[in-house]
Amino acid sequence: MAYMNQAPKAKLNIDAVIAAAENEEEYIGFCIACGAEHYGVEPDSRCYECDECGKHKVYGAQEILLMSVGACSWPTGWDKRFYILTA
Residue 47 lies in a domain: yes
> Partners of 86 in the beta sheet?
13
Residue 44 lies in a domain: yes
Residue 60 lies in a domain: yes
Number of domains in the chain: 1
Which pLDDT tens digit goes with each residue over 14-29? 889 999 999 989 999 9
Residues in the chain, how many?
87
Q: Which residues contact 25 (CB under 8 A, 6 or more apart)?
A: none
| Band of residue 10 on the pLDDT scale cut at 50, 70, 90 | low
Residue 1 lies in a domain: no
- Domain extent at residue 20: 6-71+78-86
Residue 32 lies in a domain: yes
Judge contact between 65 and 21, C-beta under 8 A: yes
